[in-house]
Amino acid sequence: GAVVSQHPSRVICKSGTSVKIECRSLDFQATTMFWYRQFPKQSLMLMATSNEGSKATYEQGVEKDKFLINHASLTLSTLTVTSAHPEDSSFYICRGRFQGYGYTFGSGTRLTVV
Amino acid sequence: AQTVTQSQPEMSVQEAETVTLSCTYDTSESDYYLFWYKQPPSRQMILVIRQEAYKQQNATENRFSVNFQKAAKSFSLKISDSQLGDAAMYFCAYRSGNLGGSEKLVFGKGTKLTVNP
């Protein structure tokens, strides 16, 4: 089946630094990648949608300069949290679309900013 | 905008018994999909079951089945013969089925299911 490999699974970074999260589609071409955020004991909220080769579309209230999304190839999409602060600590998970309208989630990244 | 409501923050069930998780949604669309996802402590999102709105027949996957009431906009999940491994957060989700429409998933707030031995 379609697999999205997400790395790292856990990351701890210092306040003010940037961290990159990668989602790779291993056996399919992900034309679209969705990035979600989940605060502790809460639901998943869509942050942005990226299409290969074009700029990401951000949901209302999401800072595009803080959460940089790059989808330069059909197998790789990245989310960079810039100048991270403790309030950015969260669980981030991607969801890729493969041929037709099939979708699959990555395994998620737990970000802790100290 | 579409909304998904899960009114049970927590549920518990005895092993081998049956439990039903509730979900209601609001939409003005006629074509859409509904999902139940399981999120164990690992936080991986696991698709449990999916229902197309145009299908009248309720979806079934082994011990998991849904009761889809389109007019009432209700989509409950029934877990039969509950197992310890079923313990997890369960999220109900909605996605538009309109071509060219939003592909994003709209999630409910989740129900934490505990299975007691």
Q: B1-5: long-range contacts at Cβ-Cβ below 8 A with a sequence spacing of 24 or more?
A: B2/B26, B2/B27, B2/B29, B2/B32, B2/B94, B2/B96, B2/B106, B3/B106, B4/B92, B4/B93, B4/B94, B4/B106, B4/B107, B4/B108, B5/B108, B5/B109
Say yes or no for a CB contact (<8 Å) between B45 and A93.
Answer: yes
Nearest to B104 among A49, A93, A108 (CB): A49
> Strand, helix or coil at B88?
strand
Note the pLDDT tens digit of each residue in B78-108.
Answer: 999 999 999 999 999 999 887 766 788 999 9
- Distances, alpha carbon B38 to alpha carbons A30, A48, A55, A66, A94, in Å: 23, 22, 31, 30, 16
Q: Do B44 and A107 make contact, defined as CB atoms within 8 angstroms?
A: yes
Q: For position A13, what pLDDT does the model report? A: 96
Which of A46, A97, A105 has the CB atom closest to B45's CB atom? A105
> Which residues of chain A neighbour B105 with C-beta distances below 8 Å?
34, 44, 46, 95
Listed as ranges, residues in chain B with pLDDT below 70 are: 100-101
CB-based contact, A49 to chain B, within 8 Å: yes
The contacts of residue A41 (CB under 8 Å, 6+ apart) are none
Taking CB atoms and an 8 Å limit, are A101 and B104 in contact across chains?
A: no
For chain A, list residues with pLDDT below 70: 100-101
| Phi-psi domain of B43 (left: phi exceeds 0; alpha: psi -120 through 50; beta: other) | left
Nearest CA in chain A to B91: A43
Check residue A101 and give its pLDDT: 65
Q: Are B28 and B1 in contact (CB under 8 A)?
A: no
Say yes or no for a CB contact (<8 Å) between B103 and A49.
yes
**Residue A40 three-state SS:** coil
A71 touches chain B (CB under 8 A): no
CB atoms B91 and A43 under 8 Å:
yes
